[in-house]
Amino acid sequence: STPEPRAPGFRDMAPPVVIAPVAAALIYGLVFGSLKLAEMAAIAGLATALLVGLPITFWMVDNGRTGPLGRTVVGVVYGLIPFIAAMGSGIVGSYIKSNDASHVKWVLEHGAPIPIVGISIWPRFAWWVLLGILWGVVTMWTAAAFRRGAGT
């Protein structure tokens, strides 16, 4: 049966905010074997949950897109947006720093410009994005499991 649209409640909105930083810390910390990276991922996960996760979770529930496909698509978007935003910021920053579109082209030929990090070569950036997508999907599916476990 197709889930019906409904008004999102605390049980819809709170779990992703709690799960996202924990899932990010576990995934990135375990994959890269770094406590520092796990801490940074947890902070980024919390920021993403608040700035991206709450609005798209609200939309998902409000529009009745809480089935498996809806949760997966929302999880993918959840995981992609921080990387798209970081790269977009890096592109703008590269242009502002150089005031030269050819410099931005050179940067993009070498990798993804990421603020604070610098240029991340494309294979590494793709790996980070793939882990981000995994993180987003894990967050949304775990939130659904908590909701089912709560009996609603």
**Beta strands of 1-152 (E only): which ranges?**
112-114, 118-120
Q: Look at residue 125 in the predicted model and tell me its pLDDT.
A: 96
Write out pLDDT tens, residues 4-24: 888 999 989 999 999 999 999
CA-nearest of 128, 127, 145 to 18 is 145
Query: Which residue has 């939130």 as its token pair?
Result: 143
Does the model's pTM come out above 0.75?
Answer: yes
**In this structure, which amino acid lies at residue 4?**
E
CB 114 within 8 A of CB 120: yes
Confidence of residue 42 (pLDDT cuts 50, 70, 90): very high
DSSP label at residue 34? -
